[in-house]
Structure 1
Amino acid sequence: MNEMIFKRLIIFSIVFVQIFIAFNPARAMDSIVDDAPPVDESKPYIPVTADNLQDMTAQAAILIDATTGRVLYEKNPDAKAMPASTTKMMTCILGLENANDDDIVEVDKRAVGVEGSAIYINEGDKIKMSELLQATMLASGNDGAAAIAYYVGKGSLETFVQMMNDKAKEIGATNTHFNNPHGLTDPNHYTTARDLAKIARYAYQNEKFRKIVSTKEQEIQWVNPAERKDVYGSTNRLLWNYDDVTGIKTGYTDAAGGCLVASAQKNGITLIAVVLKTSDSRARFVEGRALLDYGFKHIKEMKTVDEQKLISSIYTHNSTNYKTTVKPVQPFTYLVMDTDNVNDFSWKMNLPAYIDAPLKQGAKVGTIDLLYQGNVVGSVDVVTTEEVTEGFNLLGFLHKLFFS
């Protein structure tokens, strides 16, 4: 009799725990703060700082100025590497650009049970896109990334992957090829440290992206089941122990090793660091921080070009106005390192002879290049300051007639 009671108690306990997790997922999710296996503390590791970057275990690394894209430090920046979950930067930006925050995403059954780190979704679950993006980036959920992909790709993973590759090409990440939305190992899924820095720099210009990747912890409310609330903590440990860090994304697989894309802001300067294939998950944070420290340590000053010198006008064709005003997408600032000669910097505006209507306000029409000793070391986009509407203007027509 006692044995029967004991067995019933065991069964009751198991059922109770399962019910508790189902109806109290916030408690279940609370412990998800890492996307990699525990570090083997018995393995020797030389702590890397800003003064001994040569000791980095990362097989590839880069540090850039987020404003101009200027490279401040690099190690094998163009070596082919697996990005692991840093892939989700691209998944996130496509979700932001191709869906509305309040869109209700119904989880596609094909997104359920994707291996690796997860937010534990079920077929038919419903959640706002803004909440899904936040949860996926915080917990590095592979299933969440798949759910985003099926929604934005209108049910087709292949369509979404093509969107990823098209966007990479648009950004200038020409040595990158994506084959999935989450970063699980695939021979046709690869990138470089330089390309990841370009993707991060592009994404960082999006205010919503910056908010998502800078969040340490957040409670996520589901639409269905309505009683489900999850608390997710960021896998990016630098957010917890480095005051200047503002994001962005971790990654780890056995094949990719430790990966990290990290941003930090100090005294109005934003830097982006990338480390790929570190020796373990601990090293990615140590070495990412060392890169950022190196940058801030060796910055001598920040220069800002007077915006009035950079505002220009450009001819328009097929528009109601024959000219429109253009300017840099952001203040044109550049960093002077302690090894630089400030007099060796210059800048050059690259604009077409004319642009065709219609164009939205803020549309990219050219670039301003930052040059050091005559070599391009960075650039900032030039955009329209107003909408260029379609129509007819005699001066514009004559310009098109004689100069196009």
Structure 2
Amino acid sequence: MGHLRLPRCRRRLACGGRERSCPPRRRGVGRRGLVAVRLPVGLLAVAAALAGSGAATATGEPPVRAAAYVVRSGVDGAILAERSADARRPIASITKLMTVLVALDHLTLDDVVQVPRGATAVGEATIDLRSGERISVRDLVEGALIPSANDAATALALAAANGSMARFVSWMNLKAQELGLTDTHFVNPHGLDMPGHVSSARDVVTLLRAALANPVIRRYASTGSAELSGGRRVETTDDLLTRFPPFVAGKTGHTDGAGWSEVAEARSDKVTIYASVLGEPTRESRNNDLQSLLAWGLIQYEDVRAIDATRVYATAHAPYGRPSVPLVAARSVVRLQRVGVPLVERVVAPTDVRLPVRKGQVLGRVDVYERGRLVAHTPLVAARSLRRPGLLGRTQWYATRTLHHVASFFSL
């Protein structure tokens, strides 16, 4: 976990705050004696390299050969890196994420369907379905997602839409609209190149997130191999599944028009990253570039103690010559914070307190902001108790103060 670094004095922030070691500027002193102070929260960025992450560093994204790509944070939804994110391009078998997502709205895994002749005629990647064969939806889903079989995807679509390809494709496009995929239009359920069958690097990341919210798709998009009916054994097309430990799930695609493409999710500790690469020149460059982007994304966040319960945020003056009361946070707040994005805290605390004060009494608050958005807050409480002096004690204090003032007057 990163710890807060106290920056040097005098550097000004755009928000108007000062560095922590400077004397704070007081604002908004009212009748209750409350003072609001804005200060920056320092971040210590620790960029721990992940094995096999290429040239990725916490500050600079790795070089990528893809025609288009996106890296999106699962922590806060931010786009961390992109190239031609909204350019419409063929996406090949990444299409099958939508195919399975829509088919499962109409079929269950245990349904058994008859393979239509149209499914066996698609070509390219196949699990060798036979026309008239009866097969479970589960096997077709595995066939579409693990070896990326076009006949399995087509059989799913026709089974879900009672033989109407046009109806199923319309469902795919309706689902795309529901998900906000503004650069996406489907023409078929398998992803082979056809005019008008396009999506974008940004949209396929959104599609992946929606698809992986379905536990069936999540399971099979992360499966390396499976045994299907008829003695069929299928292997994944996803090389990162076995070579990149943070890899969670993904979907590959390749055609002449789409190039080598993939969209995937990776997770390390509490950080989840989604990334897509479209139009890579080779299978190996797709693997290397996607892995580098995922690894780079995973080191863009670290645990930061945004609020520290061991720190004194302010002190309040106590009457009758009693010691000042330190104000501390009621609790520590640790949050995932993007490296290089500053936090600014606002401390609201009294300048004076009335006695008695009990330990743990709420006397103020601390708020922490990221780019103007409140991300953490907690009360400030008294770190110790102070009793109010009795009548004799107060009388002695007033007498002592009066004598001091008189002595000061005659010493002039």
Aligned to 1:179: 187
Contact 1:95 1:133 in 2 (8 A): no
Question: 2:205 is paired with a residue of what secondary structure?
Answer: helix
1:147–1:164: structure 2 CA closer, same or farther, 3 Å change rule? same
**Number of residue pairs the alignment of both structures matches:** 269
Identify the match of residue 141 of structure 2 among 114, 129, 133. 133
1:35-46 alignment, distance < 5 Å: none
1:263–1:341: structure 2 CA closer, same or farther, 3 Å change rule? same
Q: CA deviation at 1:90?
A: 0.4
Contact 1:49 1:287 in 2 (8 A): no
Greater C-alpha Rg: 2
Contact 2:266 2:274 in 1 (8 A): yes
Unaligned runs of 5+ in 1: 1-46, 222-227, 305-332, 345-370, 376-404
1:124–1:244: structure 2 CA closer, same or farther, 3 Å change rule? same
Identify the match of residue 50 of structure 1 among 22, 36, 56. 56
Question: 1:289 is paired with a residue of what secondary structure?
Answer: helix
Contact 2:62 2:293 in 1 (8 A): no
What do the CA deviations read for 1:381-403 (whole angstroms, capped 9, x no partner)?
A: xxxxxxxxxxxxxxxxxxxxxxx
Aligned to 1:256: 258
* Residue type of the alignment partner of 1:252: H
* Residue type of the alignment partner of 1:118: T
1:283–1:217: structure 2 CA closer, same or farther, 3 Å change rule? same
Q: CA deviation at 1:374?
A: 5.6
Q: CA deviation at 1:69?
A: 3.0
Q: CA deviation at 1:174?
A: 1.0
Contact 1:65 1:335 in 2 (8 A): no
Question: 1:62 is paired with a residue of what secondary structure?
Answer: strand
Contact 1:66 1:201 in 2 (8 A): no
| Residue 169 (structure 1) aligned with residue 207 (structure 2) | no
Q: Give the whole-Å Cα distance in 1 for the aligned partners of 2:180 and 2:268.
A: 27
| Residue 202 (structure 1) aligned with residue 199 (structure 2) | no
Q: Give the whole-Å Cα distance in 2 for the aligned partners of 1:116 and 1:139.
A: 11
Aligned to 1:270: 272
Aligned to 1:157: 165
Identify the match of residue 373 of structure 1 among 371, 375, 379. 371
* Residue type of the alignment partner of 1:50: A
1:5-404 alignment, distance < 5 Å: 49-51=55-57, 53=61, 55-66=63-74, 68-221=76-229, 228-301=230-303, 335-343=336-344, 373=371
Q: CA deviation at 1:298?
A: 2.0
Q: Give the whole-Å Cα distance in 2 for the aligned partners of 1:183 and 1:103.
A: 24
- TM-score, normalised by the number of residues in structure 1: 0.63
Q: CA deviation at 1:53?
A: 4.4
Q: Give the whole-Å Cα distance in 2 for the aligned partners of 1:152 and 1:190.
A: 22
Q: CA deviation at 1:68?
A: 4.5
1:343–1:117: structure 2 CA closer, same or farther, 3 Å change rule? farther
Q: Give the whole-Å Cα distance in 1 for the aligned partners of 2:133 and 2:305.
A: 50
Aligned to 1:11: none
Contact 1:300 1:335 in 2 (8 A): yes
What do the CA deviations read for 1:330-377 (whole angstroms, capped 9, x no partner)?
A: xxx985211212449xxxxxxxxxxxxxxxxxxxxxxxxxx96369xx
- TM-score, normalised by the number of residues in structure 2: 0.62
Question: 1:163 is paired with a residue of what secondary structure?
Answer: helix
* Residue type of the alignment partner of 1:109: R
Question: 1:273 is paired with a residue of what secondary structure?
Answer: strand
Q: Give the whole-Å Cα distance in 2 for the aligned partners of 1:69 and 1:99.
A: 31
1:179–1:302: structure 2 CA closer, same or farther, 3 Å change rule? farther
Question: 2:146 is paired with a residue of what secondary structure?
Answer: helix
Q: Give the whole-Å Cα distance in 2 for the aligned partners of 1:343 and 1:209.
A: 41
Contact 2:343 2:371 in 1 (8 A): no
* Residue type of the alignment partner of 1:71: I
What do the CA deviations read for 1:272-301 (whole angstroms, capped 9, x no partner)?
A: 110000111211111110011101122123
Unaligned runs of 5+ in 2: 1-52, 307-333, 346-368, 374-412
Question: 1:203 is paired with a residue of what secondary structure?
Answer: helix
Q: Give me the identity figure in percent.
A: 32
Question: 2:113 is paired with a residue of what secondary structure?
Answer: strand
Q: Give the whole-Å Cα distance in 2 for the aligned partners of 1:139 and 1:179.
A: 21
Question: 2:299 is paired with a residue of what secondary structure?
Answer: helix
Q: Give the whole-Å Cα distance in 2 for the aligned partners of 1:60 and 1:66.
A: 20
- State the superposition RMSD in angstroms: 2.3
Question: 2:263 is paired with a residue of what secondary structure?
Answer: strand
Structure with higher helix content: 1
